[in-house]
């Protein structure tokens, strides 16, 4: 399978071809990956029963995974890469489902689904650059401040549907982004040890707040440095079909948590055990 540059962190899984269900399950067993209901995770062929997709994972650890299906394969790989975050997404889905019932999804479940399918994690030491992205100041963030952006900020595609879409990328392909602040030390640790550090921080963020779809920042994936050679040219970001100007928000409305409070901008949440071990 040919992977897009934004999916390169998944490349080791394909060293000997596409991993099989048996191989995925062996890794899940070795790493003791659990569902949101604390059940051992297993990737299984779809079955017909009365359970919802998320409830089946929560109660039995069974992730329906079709063979020869890129969407489901990427989902499995994200489970194995970000196990804490995926388990918390599963748990929050099920708890919301039990509270609200099947008839009403509500903004929380919509937001969780969007991030699960299309999420992008933006980690960095410079919240001002994130503010520029959130305000759709594309030229400022990706052209004028490009060197600073590449030095201080990392973009990690979390959504498995986005990885599938990146196999045949198209102009206008967007992710739903969340910013996680990091210190320079933690960013260097991430560069050295990989996504375990981010999994801890992201899981903590998913746990700590309720979300709605407007909390995610639309992010044109092909605008991320390295996503395509075309975006090395400044005029690439002048295409308003991809890089749309910010909408004018009605008075009194909220942009959601994509904007960080000023007092939080230069703070990183205290490191959890994984970060301490990684350091």
Between CA 56 and CA 50 the distance in angstroms is 9
Query: CA–CA separation, 67 vs 85, rounded Å?
Result: 24
pLDDT at 210: 85
* Mean pLDDT on 213-241: 97
Whether 12 is in a domain gets the answer no
- Residue 36, classed as helix, strand or coil, is coil
Whether residue 207 lies inside any domain: the answer is yes
Q: How many helices (H) and strands (E) does the chain have?
A: 12, 6
Residue 253 lies in a domain: yes
> Which pTM value belongs to this model?
0.89
Task: Flag whether 199 is in a domain.
Answer: yes
Q: What is the pLDDT of residues 143-180, one digit of tens each?
A: 999 999 999 999 999 999 999 999 999 999 999 999 99
Residue 145 CB neighbours (<10 A): 19
In a domain, 197, yes or no: yes
Total tally of structural domains belonging to the chain = 1
The string of DSSP letters for 61-101 reads -EEE--TT-HHHHHHHHHHHHSHHHHHHHHHHHHHHHHHH-
Classify residue 91: in a domain, yes or no. no
| pLDDT at 62 > cutoff 50 | yes
**Domain residues for 260?**
113-278
Task: Tell me the C-alpha distance between 272 and 189, whole Å.
Answer: 13
Quick check: 276 pLDDT over 70?
no
In a domain, 204, yes or no: yes
Mean pLDDT of the chain: 89
- Tell me the sheet residues that pair with 179: 122
Which of 122-126, 263-267, 268-272 has the highest average model confidence (pLDDT)?
122-126
């Amino acid at each position: 399978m040919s992977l897009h540059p934004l999916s390169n962190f998944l490349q080791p899984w394909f060293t000997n071809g596409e991993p099989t269900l048996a191989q995925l399950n062996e890794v899940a067993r070795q790493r003791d990956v659990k569902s949101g209901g604390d059940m051992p995770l297993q990737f299984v062929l779809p079955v017909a029963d009365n359970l919802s997709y998320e409830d089946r994972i929560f109660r039995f650890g069974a992730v329906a995974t079709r063979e020869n299906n890129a969407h489901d394969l990427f989902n499995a790989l994200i489970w194995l890469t970000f196990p804490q975050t995926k388990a918390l997404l599963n748990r929050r889905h099920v708890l919301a489902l039990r509270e609200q019932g099947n008839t009403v999804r509500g903004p929380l479940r919509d937001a969780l689904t969007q991030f699960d399918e299309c999420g992008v994690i933006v980690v960095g030491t410079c919240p001002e650059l994130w503010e520029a992205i959130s305000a759709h100041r594309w030229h400022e963030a990706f052209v004028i401040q490009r060197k600073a952006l590449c030095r201080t900020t990392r973009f990690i595609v979390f959504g498995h549907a986005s990885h599938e879409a990146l196999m045949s990328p198209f102009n206008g392909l967007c992710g739903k982004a969340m910013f996680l602040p990091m210190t320079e030390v933690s960013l260097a640790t991430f560069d050295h040890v990989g996504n375990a550090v981010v999994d801890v921080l992201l899981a903590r963020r998913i746990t700590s707040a309720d979300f709605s779809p407007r909390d995610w920042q639309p992010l044109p994936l092909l605008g991320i440095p390295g996503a395509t050679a075309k975006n090395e040219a400044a005029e690439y970001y002048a295409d308003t079909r991809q890089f749309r100007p910010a909408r004018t928000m009605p008075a009194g409305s909220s942009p959601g948590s994509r904007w960080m409070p000023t007092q939080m901008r230069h703070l990183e949440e205290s490191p959890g055990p994984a970060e301490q071990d990684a350091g």
